[in-house]
Structure 1
Amino acid sequence: MIFKEYKPSISLLPYIETYWIAEGYAKTKEIDKIFPDGCVDIIFSFNQIPNNGALVPYLPNLIGTMTTFSEISYYQNISMLGIRFKPAGITAFTKIPINYFTDSKTDLTLIDTLFEEKFYAKLPELETSIAKIKHIDLYLNQRLISIFELNNQIVYATELIKKTNGRLPLIDIANRSCLSLRNFERKFKTAVGISPKTFSKIIKFKHTLSYIKKNTTESLFSIAVDCGYYDHSHLIKDFKTFTGNTPLHL
């Protein structure tokens, strides 16, 4: 399967992390694991019959912020396109609390009007993935005149957590975001979909996964200490939550 990412136009960078496409053909049933990343995706599937029984073909499927891994099966033709929003980025386009979608797949046409029917009805008619991405990018740019204001305190908090690889205590993040801890946790969950504690764990996990790939000879205990875990048992526990496996079996 071919997987490619494309950057949005400059005006959409505060809200969208990337566009992505997944295309190919699987002769036999294949299963992939998707790890949590703290983001919300909207996915369009262009298969007449959904390979994994989860995505509604041709309609916008919203994949909420994940707190654990997800398994997706593929068979025969694969054609998907996704919009990955930055943490809290989708709140510019909807007022529905994002924690409503956590760990779920939702047919967006049933609950929100983010996309007009004439917009997504045209997508299957476009011949190439690049043309589809340009169509989406143009549409979202046109929506910028009526978007909602992002909560800059929460956006700052997500960037601070990422910058520190999930190692900064929550009380410090709340203080630097000029919020009380209770108010910070409530606003963060509404905008990002998960608690700041869970988001920090996911960011730490992502950093550790990258660290392991670059330091293949280092001991698990040493990796745990270098990446901010109390010990290697805490690292293993998080990896089992987010991947279903230990770091040695990925």
Structure 2
Amino acid sequence: MQFLHDPNFSHSFFLDVTRIDYQQDMPAQVINDYGYSYIMFRYGTIDAFDHNGAQVAVPEKFIKGTGDFFTVKAYKEATWISIELPNHILHSITKIHGVKNRNKLIDLSLYVDDDTLDSLYHKLATAMTIEDITIITDHHLRSYYKEWSVLYPSVEIVNHIFHKKGKVTVSELADRFPYSERTLGRMFLKEVGAPPQRFANLVRFNNAIRALETQENESLQSILEKFDYYDQSHFEKDFKKFLGQNIKEYKNEFNPLLSNALARKYVKLDL
């Protein structure tokens, strides 16, 4: 597997760009949600299954927003190109209530003219650097960026949740922003596709996962406490919710750092 990514990537519209090329058939892998929207391009054969285990069709060019985990199986000579976008972009593009888009891989041809999209798809196939992928995508889609950049009321709140690394409650959001908890709930279901507390918990979980991957010398217990998990069972409930597996079951050939991190012994310190 060849993984193409630039950790220093910067762009006025995209958050990140990734390309994955598969040199052999891969075992099924669980892909969790990170709370963003994605424009994705598939080349070759890739099977996908939703959180209930039902197989879903994978268009060649699609957009996906916040939802539950997917299980993905890629085959030899397949390729993913993934363009990460702010969470609200899915709603900006489709103008559809977020809950109705949840867990759907939406054909991008419904929102971009066929000639533009076909040209983009074929030129990206041979783009082997992040810079080339970005330049080609900009050339084809730049005229859509303004239309897709409509700022909804949820945008500032979502940015605050990311800034707080998910360590925030709905009542705290209602105190900070001029919306009641009930209004926040309706807003997030429409624009984000998930209730605000679930979205915040997802962001917190992903930040905890990143810390586990990168902070090799810190104990599991210490990292979990930083993210307001009061014990390991609390974290394991989120792990099951967002990745569909128990920690002991989790195996990911794409991410050996996380697999190794989860093998650390959890020791509760007596203070």
For residue 46 of structure 1, report the CA deviation from its aligned partner: 2.1
Give the deviation of 1:73 after TM superposition.
0.6
> Which residue of the partner structure matches residue 200 of structure 2?
200
* Match runs of 1:126-145 below 5 Å: 126=123, 127-130=126-129, 131-145=132-146
Alignment-derived partner of residue 17 in structure 2 = 19
Aligned counterparts of 1:145 and 1:41: Cα–Cα separation in 2: 17
Shift of 1:198: 1.1
The aligned residue for residue 71 of structure 2 is: 71
State how far apart, in whole Å, the 1-side matches of 2:179 and 2:238 are: 28
Q: Which of 43, 48, 60 matches 1:46? A: 43
- Is the 2:204–2:227 Cα contact (8 Å) retained in structure 1? yes
Cα distance in 1 between the residues matched to 2:137 and 2:195: 30
Amino acid at match of 1:120: L
Change in 2 beyond 3 A, CA 1:234/1:192: same
| Residues 3, 20 of structure 2: 8 Å contact kept | yes
- 1:131-190 CA deviation, whole Å, 9 max, x = no partner? 454232233321234446211x31111111112121212111123221111111111221
SS in 2 for 1:30: coil
Residue 128 of structure 1: CA displacement? 2.0
Supply the distance in 2 between the matched residues of 1:223 and 1:248 (Cα, whole angstroms): 21
What RMSD in Å do the two structures reach over aligned CA positions?
2.4
> Following the alignment from structure 2 to structure 1, what is the Cα–Cα distance between the partners of residues 197 and 114?
37
Alignment TM-score, normalising by the size of structure 1: 0.82
Task: Verify the 8 A CA contact 1:8 1:19 in the aligned structure 2.
Answer: no
Could you list the runs of 4 or more consecutive aligned residues of structure 1 that deviate by over 4 angstroms after TM superposition? 129-132
Residue 56 of structure 1 pairs with residue 59 of structure 2:
yes
Match of 2:34 in 1: 37
- The structure with the greater share of residues assigned to strand is 1
1:215 and 1:80 map into 2 onto residues whose CA distance is 29
What TM-score, normalized to structure 2?
Answer: 0.76
Question: Which ranges in structure 2 are unaligned for 5 or more consecutive residues?
Answer: 49-56, 251-258, 260-271
Which whole-Å CA distance do the structure 2 matches of 1:197 and 1:102 have between them?
A: 16
Amino acid at match of 1:33: V
